[in-house]
Amino acid sequence: MLYYLFGYLDRVFDFPGAQVFQYISFRAAMAVITSLIISLYFGKRWIGYLNRRQVGETVRDLGLEGQLEKQGTPTMGGLIILASLIIPTLLFAELTNTYVILMLFTAVWLGGLGFIDDYIKVFKRDKRGLSGKTKVIGQVFLGLVVASTMYFDNSIVMREKPRDFKQVVGNVVAEGPASRFMVEESKVTKTTIPFIKNNEFDYAVLLRWLGPGYEKWAFLIFIPIVILIIVGVSNGANLTDGMDGLAVGTSAIIGATLGILAWVSGNIIFADYLNIMYLPNSGELTIFISAFVGANIGFLWYNSYPAQVFMGDTGSLALGGIIAVFAIIIRKELLIPILCGIFLAESLSVILQVSWFKYTRQKYGVGRRIFKMSPLHHHYQKLGYSEPKIVLRFLIVGVMLSVLTIITLKLR
């Protein structure tokens, strides 16, 4: 909104300083600051309201040190994250941008899905909440919307020639810098393969066995892949949300990394220098992801050990979904196993634990476990590590994985 207001003031009244709102870097910085202010201000009041309503978390006795002390801690704090994310985006981003619209829809849809689950658990006193099947259906629907929009919307293209090429590259002729982007590329089924030179991969080639014209059926492979990624990462973030500050801290680190990737992908000069896909208009995503990082850091103020509030599924489902959709939009989804390594490890620990337990129970009559407890962070808690130490070390690993992700831009 402010983006359009100051754009109008600049065009009509030549208002001093209004032109600064045209710079993505300025609006991204303002989004971070605004999201921090909203989360700190709104968070304190929301926590107070939840305490007055006695909206507390019900904690099962899992035999973990300090676990029962969390009993009664306010939940549904994910609303703090969503408010701190959505409001700055509405204020500073270009709201006609298809990428921004998709990200806002993702936040509202998954946040709403998680809110319904939390509401049933807390206010209806039904510990089951929404069924797992219902949550997956909601995630699948989001995947259908995102994939279909990316595939069929003509405004989403790659390596498109800029409208005014000379303005972008400083009056340099076509043979100069960024000349490889002169050809318009409309295929949206391409993505980036890390550690490979000329690292563009088209999902459509997986259907080459169909014969001539196989490209027109690319959506048959693209849409299921998008759905699988969204469901996997969203649930991975949900599983990670088991210790104070773990999920939100990890998400902030991932968000900052995605912001860097989005900014260079949406800038024709840097995209040419790094030899990566140029995604026209994707630079606006930097404002959204900046607000995302600010919202997570602001929530961490109240969620750090000992937590004053939990995010609940309102936050955890939305965080994972936002990260997944964002990575897909900027064509970096194959980097998710590296960037979201914490989420992946947490998910795999649960899958391995459950699978091995069922297998050994069927074969030997007694179920056996690989880990002392899953998800993985509880395994270390059972080993005697304190919760703050586990969280801090997981975050350090998250930073290392983020650095490795950024290095993939040049390490091929």
pLDDT in tens, the chain (412 residues): 777 776 767 777 777 777 787 889 899 999 999 999 999 999 999 999 888 887 766 666 566 766 667 777 888 899 999 999 999 999 999 999 999 999 999 999 999 999 999 889 888 877 778 888 999 999 999 999 999 999 988 888 776 444 444 444 444 434 444 444 444 555 568 888 888 877 788 888 888 888 888 888 888 899 999 999 999 999 999 999 989 999 999 999 999 999 999 999 988 888 888 888 888 888 899 999 999 999 999 999 999 998 999 998 999 999 999 999 999 999 999 999 999 999 999 999 999 999 999 999 998 888 899 999 989 999 999 998 999 999 999 999 999 999 999 999 888 7
Residue 296 lies in a domain: yes
Are residues 40 and 301 in contact, defined by beta-carbon separation less than 8 angstroms?
A: yes
Write down the pLDDT at residue 410. Answer: 84
pLDDT at 172: 43
Angle at the Cα of 296 (from 291 to 300), degrees rounded to 5? 145
- Cα gap 201→203, rounded to integer Å: 6
Residues 6+ apart with CB under 8 A from 51: 74
DSSP H or E run through 273: helix 268-274
Residue 325 lies in a domain: yes
| Tokens (6 digits) for 260 | 């860097």
Cα–Cα distance, 103 to 99 (Å, whole number): 6
pLDDT at residue 23, as a whole number = 86
Q: What angle do CA 264, 269, 340 make, to 5 degrees?
A: 15
Task: Spell out the alpha helix ranges (H) of 209-267.
Answer: 219-240, 246-265
Number of domains, the chain: 1
Predicted pLDDT of residue 321: 95
Residue 250 belongs to some domain of the structure: yes
Please check whether residue 314 lies inside any domain of the structure.
yes
Cis bond leading into 306, ω under 30°?
A: yes
Residue bearing tokens 């921004």? 100
Q: Is residue 1 part of a domain?
A: no
Residue 396 belongs to a domain = no
- List the one residue out of 137, 149, 135, 139 whose CA is nearest residue 102: 149
Domain of residue 23 covers 19-330
Token pair for residue 377?
């962070």
Which helix H or strand E contains 195, and what residues bound it? none
3-state DSSP call for residue 396?
A: helix
The reply to whether 189 falls in a domain is yes
Distance CA 201, CA 404 (A): 20
Looking at the domain assignment, is residue 404 inside a domain? no
| Per-residue pLDDT, 178 | 46
